[in-house]
C-alpha cells in the first residue's frame, strides 16, 4: 500500500483526490449515528463482556470450602486460585491494551474470549489445585480482554456526555455482576457440584464470542492505530512511576483493592467455618455488602461538585480504616458475632464506593492524552497485582486456613497503608 509521499503511478492527477472516496471505510461504525436500538444492542454486547470477569471471580466463592475438600488441599492454596486470577487480569491489561491500540479491537477480543471459554471448560476437569491455579491465571489473562477492550470501544465510539451516559449503563452491569454472581453460584450448588459454575462461565463466554463476531464491528480505524516499541513503552512507564502525584493515588487504589479482595477471598471460609453459615446464607450476606458498595458509589456521585475529589477520597479512606479497625478489635477480643461482622463489612464496602472512583480520577488527572492509555493500563495492572497479592496473606496462618482474625488484621493493615499513600500523594500535589 503506497504512502501519501510515494510517487503516484496513477494515469491522471485527480486519482489522489478521488482515493478517499473509493477506499472502503475500515471502520464504518466510527461514523455511525447511533439509534436507540443500536445503542441498546451495543450495551448488551459490551455488558456481557464486562460482566464475564466479575462472574469468573465471584461465582465460585460459595463453593470454595467444597472445592478445597474435593481437591484435598487447604484454604490457603484454594485462595491462590483467586490470586492467580487477579494476577492474570493484571498481566492481561498490560498486554492486551497496547495490542488492541496496534492491531484493532476485534481480533484481540475474539482471541481473549475464545481462550477464556476453553479455560473455563478445562477448570471443570482439574485433577489437583496446582493445575487449577495455572488455569485460573490463564483465565485471568484472557478475561482482561473483555474489560479493557469494552472500555476502549466506548472511547472509540462516544465522546463527552455521550460517553458518560454509556459508561453509566455499563457501570450498572459492573455493580450488579459481583452482587448476583455468588447468589447464582450458591443456587447452582443446590442442584449440582461446584463444576456447574464453570460450565455456566463457559456458556457465557461462548455467547460473548458469538455476540462479538456477529454484532460488534471494528471501532478503531486503521489510520488511528499505533504501535509502541518496548523501549518507548518502558520509557513512558518509567516516567509515570517517577511521579508521586500518579504513584500515590495508584498505591491508594491498589492497597484499598487489596483490602476489598481480602474480604472477597476469605469471607466464604470465615462465614461458613466460624459462623456455620450455609453457602446460600453466605451468598445473601455477600449481596448485602455489595449493596453497600453500590450505595457508596451513588452517594459519592451526589457529592460531585459539592465536595472536592481529594476530600471525598480522604473521607472514604478514614471510614474504611475505622470500620475495619473496629472489626479487627472485635475479632481479636473474640466477641464478634456474624451480624456485627456483616454490618462492619457493609460499611467498609460503602467506603470502597468512595475510594475507587476518586483514587482513579486523582491518578489520571493532569496526565497528557499521549500517555493516558498507558497510565490507565498500568494503574489497572498494579491494582489487580496488589489486590491479588495482599489477599493471599489472610491464609498464611499456622493451619493454612483464613480466619476472622487473619482477615481483619490484613484488612486493617492495608487500609492504614492505603491512607498513608493518600497522605503522601496529597503532600506531593501541594508542593
- SS3 readout for 113-161: HHHHHHHHHHHHCCCCHHHHHHHHHHHHHHHHHHHHHHHHHHHHHCCHH
359 and 308 share one domain: yes
Which of 227, 250, 268 is the last residue in one of the domains? 227
- Contact present, 44 and 73 (Cβ < 8 Å): no
Q: Report pLDDT for 332.
A: 94
Is residue 335 included in any domain, yes or no? yes
Q: Residue 219 in 3-state DSSP?
A: coil
Claim to verify: residue 280 and residue 209 sit in the same structural domain: no
Residue 104's pLDDT is what? Answer: 81
**Do 239 and 305 share a structural domain?**
yes
Three-state SS sequence of 220-255: CCHHHCCCCCHHHHHHHHHHHHCCHHHHHHHHHHHH
Distance (Å, whole) CA 394 – CA 408: 8
pLDDT (0 to 100) of residue 400: 67
Q: Residue 19: inside a domain, yes or no?
A: no
- Count CB atoms within 10 A of the CB of residue 1: 5
The Cβ of residue 223 has, within 10 Å, a number of other Cβ atoms equal to 8
Instruction: Specify whether 175 is located in the same domain as 52.
Output: yes
Based on the domain organization, do 170 and 237 belong to the same domain?
Answer: no
User: Do 262 and 212 belong together in one domain?
Assistant: no
Q: Are residues 167 and 274 in the same domain?
A: no
Looking at residue 143, which CATH number applies to its domain? 1.20.1250.20
Give the mean pLDDT per block of 10 residues along the chain (431 residues): 42 43 42 59 78 84 89 85 88 82 84 95 95 95 84 69 59 68 86 92 91 82 71 80 87 90 86 88 87 84 82 93 96 93 94 86 69 71 81 74 89 95 82 64
Residue 12 maps to a domain: no
- Please state the domain count of the chain: 2
Is the pTM higher than 0.95?
no
* 206 shares a domain with 257: no
User: Residue 68 domain-assigned?
Assistant: yes
How many Cβ atoms from other residues are within 10 Å of residue 364's Cβ? 16
Q: Say yes or no: 195 and 259 in one domain.
A: no
Backbone angles phi, psi at 198, to 5 degrees: -75, -30
At 277 the three-state DSSP class reads coil
pLDDT at 348: 94
Structural domain boundaries, residue 375: 233-431
Last residue of a domain, one of 190, 205, 227: 227
Cell of 170: 455499563
What pLDDT does residue 116 have? 95
Amino acid at each position: 500500500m503506497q504512502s501519501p509521499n510515494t510517487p503516484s503511478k496513477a494515469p491522471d492527477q485527480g486519482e489522489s483526490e478521488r482515493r478517499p472516496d473509493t477506499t472502503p471505510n475500515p471502520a464504518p461504525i466510527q461514523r455511525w449515528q447511533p439509534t436507540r436500538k443500536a445503542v441498546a444492542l451495543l450495551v448488551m454486547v459490551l455488558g456481557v463482556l464486562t460482566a464475564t470477569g466479575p462472574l469468573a471471580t465471584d461465582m465460585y466463592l460459595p463453593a470454595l470450602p467444597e472445592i478445597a475438600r474435593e481437591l484435598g488441599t487447604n484454604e490457603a492454596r484454594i485462595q491462590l486460585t483467586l490470586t492467580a486470577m487477579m494476577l492474570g487480569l493484571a498481566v492481561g491489561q498490560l498486554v492486551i491494551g497496547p495490542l488492541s491500540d496496534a492491531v484493532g479491537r476485534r481480533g484481540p477480543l475474539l482471541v481473549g474470549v475464545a481462550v477464556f471459554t476453553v479455560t473455563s471448560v478445562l477448570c471443570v476437569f482439574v485433577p489437583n489445585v496446582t493445575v487449577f491455579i495455572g488455569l485460573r491465571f490463564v483465565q485471568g489473562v484472557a478475561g482482561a480482554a473483555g474489560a479493557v477492550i469494552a472500555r476502549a470501544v466506548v472511547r472509540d465510539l462516544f465522546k463527552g456526555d455521550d460517553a458518560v451516559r454509556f459508561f453509566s449503563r455499563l457501570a450498572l452491569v459492573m455493580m450488579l455482576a459481583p452482587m448476583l454472581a455468588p447468589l447464582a453460584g450458591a443456587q447452582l450448588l443446590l442442584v449440582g457440584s461446584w463444576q456447574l459454575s464453570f460450565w455456566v462461565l463457559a456458556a457465557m463466554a461462548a455467547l460473548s464470542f458469538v455476540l462479538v463476531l456477529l454484532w460488534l464491528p471494528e471501532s478503531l480505524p486503521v489510520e488511528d492505530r499505533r504501535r509502541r516499541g518496548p523501549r518507548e513503552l518502558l520509557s513512558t512507564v518509567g516516567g509515570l512511576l517517577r511521579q508521586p502525584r500518579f504513584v500515590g493515588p495508584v498505591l491508594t487504589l491498589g492497597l484499598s483493592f487489596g483490602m476489598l479482595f481480602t474480604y472477597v477471598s476469605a469471607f466464604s471460609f470465615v462465614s461458613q467455618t466460624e459462623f456455620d453459615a450455609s453457602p446460600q446464607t453466605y451468598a445473601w450476606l455477600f449481596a448485602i455488602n455489595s449493596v453497600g458498595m453500590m450505595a457508596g458509589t451513588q452517594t459519592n456521585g451526589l457529592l460531585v461538585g459539592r465536595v472536592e475529589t481529594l476530600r471525598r477520597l480522604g473521607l472514604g479512606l478514614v471510614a474504611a480504616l475505622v470500620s475495619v479497625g473496629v472489626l479487627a478489635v472485635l475479632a481479636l477480643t473474640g466477641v464478634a458475632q456474624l451480624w456485627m461482622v456483616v454490618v462492619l463489612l457493609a460499611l467498609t464496602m460503602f467506603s470502597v464506593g468512595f475510594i475507587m472512583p476518586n483514587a482513579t480520577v486523582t491518578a489520571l488527572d493532569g496526565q497528557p492524552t499521549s500517555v493516558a492509555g498507558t497510565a490507565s493500563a498500568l494503574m489497572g495492572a498494579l491494582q489487580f497485582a496488589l489486590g491479588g497479592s495482599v489477599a493471599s496473606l489472610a491464609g498464611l496462618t499456622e493451619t493454612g486456613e483464613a480466619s476472622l482474625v487473619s482477615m481483619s488484621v490484613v484488612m486493617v493493615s492495608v487500609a492504614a497503608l492505603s491512607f498513608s499513600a493518600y497522605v503522601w500523594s496529597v503532600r506531593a500535589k501541594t508542593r
